Amino acid sequence: MTHPVRAEVVVDLDAIAANTAVLRERVGRPLMAVVKADGYGHGMVPAARAALAGGADALGVAVVEEALALRAAGITAPVLAWLNGPGEDLAAALAADVEVSVNAVWGLEEAVAAARAAGRTARLHLKVDTGLSRGGATPDQWPALVAAAARAQADGEVEVVGLWSHLAYADAPTHPTIGLQVGVFEEAVVIARDAGLTGARRHLANSAATVALPHTWFDMVRPGVAVYGLDPLGGDPAVHGLRPAMTVQARVMLTKRVPAGAGVSYGHTYAPERETTLAVVPVGYADGVPRAAGNRAPVLAAGAHRTIAGRVCMDQFVLDVGDDAVAPGDRVVLWGPGTGGEPTAQQWADAVDTIHYELVARIGGRFARRHVGSAGAV
Ligand SMILES: *Cc1c(COP(=O)(O)O)cnc(C)c1O
């Protein structure tokens, strides 16, 4: 007898590859698949391989450690790591042929020092802050950064391979900030090109911009969440030809009949109106099931959606299944593609007042992760 898995996150690698192929085909230009944060909870290395199998031209991650983990797994595709603070081990990144992003003159100086230490040319993406007020040089700082980078490039220490920025409102495709940011970006590109940085690829579009805003595509797009099959606009991913890759499921641990009025879970915030069957599900907020899901989020159990009954605990939550037949070991599905009657991550996001990004990126803890499909298999 094999032991049924208590709780697992099942990831369909073929869906990741197919989503990548759909996006790549739609834009008709290079695509950098974003695999930061453990591939948005899907497993960074398998997700990266599946995205490459689907036609991704490059991979994007936040931090250098993520890039080095991709290299350690044998992945040789271009990788950009963009979240670099002071003192980052850029020499290790350059030695592993990882491209890094620079936000400021001090960052450029660190990259030059790392290039000398590693004995290599640093391949850099210069980031301009076009209005998100997060990473990137402000338009005021940009000319000095570009001039310093052009000097370092002339000296052979760096090669500027990217000019890039990030949108604040791509998920609201008609928002006026989009046009303003594109305008600032285009001006920044002109300044960089006039300074001699003519070989760089321009990239601006995240998933929402990749599906909805062709004028933001420039020389490469940079989708993350859409690669995993979630609609960046918060609607039905099938509209964009996308299919969610993640299914989150668990086995019922225990069932019991309780009388009307029984207080359920901590604080007794739920009580059934009549005698009923409760099912205890062995996952909780330590596993990434938000505590806010108590009395709000839907779960597929015994063929129907049930709202979680009472509070989500650290390790478990409870369902009220009425008089339906549920036994220990039965499968319950928190979210998945929705094609088998289960709720979607979007429905969960709506129920707990967050975005699906946060749900998939945080699910983990004691969930086992299982990859299915063959895309990118080694
Ligand atoms: C995470 C991230 C992306 C991908 O965003 P999605 O909305 O998931 O497509 C792209 N660019 C940057 C800078 C990011 O931080």
> pLDDT band at 202, cuts 50/70/90?
very high
Question: Domain locations in the chain?
Answer: 57-226, 246-372
> pLDDT band at 94, cuts 50/70/90?
very high
Mean pLDDT of 110-136: 97
Residue in this structure with the two tokens 């081990």, named with its chain if needed: 89
Ligand 1 pocket test, candidate residues 206, 218, 357, 358, most atoms within 8 A of CB: 206
The answer to whether the CB of 107 is under 6 A from ligand 1 is no
pTM for the structure as a whole: 0.97
Check pLDDT > 80 for residue 307.
yes
Q: Which atom of ligand 1 is nearest to 36's Cα? A: 1
> pLDDT band at 377, cuts 50/70/90?
confident
Determine whether 133 is exposed, middle or buried from the number of CB atoms within 10 Å of its CB (0-12, 13-18, 19+): exposed
Q: Decide if 229 contacts 15 (C-beta within 8 A).
A: yes
CA angle 232/224/65 to nearest 5° reads 150
Ligand 1: distance of its center to the CA of 79 in Å? 14
DSSP assignment of 316-359, as one string? -EEEEEETS---TT-EEEEES-STTSPPPHHHHHHHHTS-HHHH
Ligand 1: distance of its center to the CA of 222 in Å? 7
Residues 6+ apart with CB under 8 A from 263: 270, 271, 310
Check pLDDT > 60 for residue 316.
yes
Q: Which atom of ligand 1 is nearest to 226's Cα? A: 9
Ligand 1: distance of its center to the CA of 62 in Å? 9
Check pLDDT > 80 for residue 3.
no
The answer to whether the CB of 222 is under 6 A from ligand 1 is yes
pLDDT of residue 107: 98
The answer to whether the CB of 356 is under 6 A from ligand 1 is no
Rounded to whole angstroms, how far apart are CA atoms 86 and 325? 58
The answer to whether the CB of 206 is under 6 A from ligand 1 is yes
Report domain 57-226's class.
alpha beta
Ligand 1: distance of its center to the CA of 182 in Å? 16
Q: Which residues are catalytic?
A: 36, 266
The answer to whether the CB of 202 is under 6 A from ligand 1 is no
Strand (E) or helix (H) holding 203: strand 201-205
Give the rounded percent of residues in the chain with a pLDDT score beyond 90.
98
Give the rounded percent of residues in the chain with a pLDDT score beyond 70.
99
Check pLDDT > 70 for residue 1.
no
Mean pLDDT of 134-142: 98
Mean pLDDT of 333-351: 98
**DSSP 8-state secondary structure symbol assigned to residue 137:** B
Q: Which atom of ligand 1 is nearest to 40's Cα? A: 8
Check pLDDT > 70 for residue 27.
yes
Mean pLDDT of 272-284: 98
pLDDT of residue 2: 62
Q: Decide if 325 contacts 335 (C-beta within 8 A).
A: no
Q: What are the φ/ψ torsions at residue 41 (nearest 5 degrees)?
A: 85, 5
Give pLDDT tens digits for 220-264.
Answer: 999 999 999 999 999 999 999 999 999 999 999 999 999 999 999
Ligand 1: distance of its center to the CA of 368 in Å? 26
Ligand 1 pocket test, candidate residues 16, 34, 103, 242, most atoms within 8 A of CB: 34
Q: Kindly report the protein residue whose alpha carbon is nearest to atom 13 of ligand 1.
A: 166
The answer to whether the CB of 232 is under 6 A from ligand 1 is yes
Residues 6+ apart with CB under 8 A from 157: 112, 115, 116, 121, 122
pLDDT of residue 248: 98
Ligand 1 pocket test, candidate residues 20, 126, 222, most atoms within 8 A of CB: 222
Ligand 1: distance of its center to the CA of 286 in Å? 26
CATH for 246-372 is 2.40.37.10
The answer to whether the CB of 59 is under 6 A from ligand 1 is no
Residues 6+ apart with CB under 8 A from 320: 264, 270, 272, 276, 277, 278, 306, 309
As given in the structure block, the two tokens for residue 239 are 């509209």
Q: Which of 101, 167, 111 is nearest to 134 (CA)?
A: 167
DSSP assignment of 14-45, as one string? HHHHHHHHHHHHHHTS-BEEE-HHHHHHT-HH
Length of the chain: 378
The answer to whether the CB of 207 is under 6 A from ligand 1 is yes
Mean pLDDT of 287-314: 98
Give pLDDT tens digits for 35-75.
Answer: 999 999 999 999 999 999 999 999 999 999 999 999 999 99
Ligand 1: distance of its center to the CA of 166 in Å? 8
> At CB < 8 A and 24+ separation, what contacts does 102-105 make?
102/126, 102/127, 102/145, 102/149, 103/127, 103/129, 103/135, 103/136, 103/137, 104/137, 104/141, 104/145, 105/141, 105/144, 105/145, 105/148
For the beta carbon of residue 175, count every other beta carbon within 10 angstroms.
Answer: 14
Rounded to whole angstroms, how far apart are CA atoms 308 and 29? 44
